[in-house]
Amino acid sequence: MSRRDEEPVISIEDVEVHFESSSSLFNNLFGEPDTVRAVDGVSLQIPEREVIALVGESGCGKTTLGKTVIGAQRPTGGSVKYRGQDIWDAKDRTGTVEIPHTEIRQALQIIHQDPGSSLNPNRKVIKTLEAPLKRHKKDLNVRDRRARIFGMLDTVGMAPAEDYAQRYPHQLSGGEKQRVALIRALLMNPDLILADEAISALDVSLRIEMMDLFLELRDMFDTSFVFISHDLSNAWYLTEKADGLIGIMYLGNLVEIGPAREILENPQHPYTKALMWATPDLSLRDDADDMPLREIDVPDPVDPPSGCRFHTRCPEAREVCTGEIPPLDTVNEDGAIRHKAACYRIYDDHEYWHSDTLSDNPLGSEGSDATAGTSD
């Protein structure tokens, strides 16, 4: 049986995360506050040992979705379940609770972009790594704890382990700090780790090394990874090697998801094509000299466009795109069943093909210096 046929580690259904805009406290003191729809109706299943990379421009909702997946962000709508247990029912102790929240917290871990900010500068590495074991693995004695920590330091390439264990964070490089953060997460034997821009602060030469380490540890510990990135080339490298998935986020919606090779060779959503065009390693510029966008600026998430939210920037948009949000649907029943897109163009017989075009003038050379998806 394929790992994707088993009960998923995480299942989210129609998840929404809406925030009050920070500016609305002043501007709307006596009126209705503005609402940012950071995540707006996303459904996703994450099987055992899966690797999913969420990619998109700054403000698209990818980090908010990732934090919602691991129970670090409470949704305002929809459900988030860990092995069938609603995470927030377990947290609030309401309804049926078969898996306690303490167990869920250990199973779902996070690695931040800046590991230095999460490491106590006044604690040696050994003390930082002993803390979660003392708290959650109380059956281990000092010798067992240290043996496990030294083994993990060796595993991630921090040898001699006894030397690194006695160092303070300021005595470590950025890559070494990230490894310590990774060890701390893995010591809990998690089922899933959220890596939130976990390699973006590293030198380019270290990024591939760190991604290879993620995959090695995924196989060693049977851990799933959700990888947040604004860099499509990094997402492609990781998911291609892992036989994983790339999910494309835009203004709170998941607009395309599929295997890395399918996304690269057969992108279906116009926004995915724009991200690829703007990624030098995956550039489509040999096929299209002009950026595949009608507008540079991302719409205001407080007041997103009706219908397909990308239609205001999409060179393929037609009148029908301004109505309802297209469902995330299978691209081709004869192709990869895991490849889905939220675009009316995937249907051969949709009214889209008979609808009036919004514009025949995508950005030309005047937009060629702009980029999509390259900002954090």
User: For the chain, what percentages of helix, strand and coil (3-state, to nearest 5) are there?
Assistant: 35, 20, 45
Nearest to 87, CA basis, from 112, 105, 65: 105
Q: Domain total for the chain?
A: 1
**Whole-model pTM?**
0.89
Could you tell me the residue range of the domain that residue 56 belongs to?
3-113+191-367
CATH number at residue 47: 3.40.50.300
**Domain presence at residue 105:** yes
**Domain presence at residue 120:** no
**Domain presence at residue 131:** no
Amino acid 88 reads: W
> Sheet harboring 10-20: ordered strands across?
35-46, 10-20, 77-82, 85-86
User: In the prediction, which pLDDT does 362 show?
Assistant: 46
Rounded Cα distance between 108 and 72, Å, is 9
**DSSP letter for each residue of 113-167:** S-HHHHS-TTS-HHHHHHHHHHHH-TT--HHHHHHHHHHHHHHTT--SHHHHHT-
**Domain presence at residue 160:** no
- Mean pLDDT in order along the chain per 10 residues (376 residues): 73 95 56 84 96 94 96 97 97 94 96 82 95 90 95 95 96 92 94 91 84 93 95 93 96 96 92 89 57 82 92 94 94 77 95 85 41 41
**Domain presence at residue 313:** yes
User: In the prediction, which pLDDT does 359 show?
Assistant: 60
- Residue 35 half-sphere exposure, CB side, CA atoms within 13 Å? 9
Task: List the structure tokens of 307.
Answer: 């219908």
- Residue 106 half-sphere exposure, CB side, CA atoms within 13 Å? 12
- Contact between 61 and 15 under an 8 Å Cβ cutoff? The reply is no
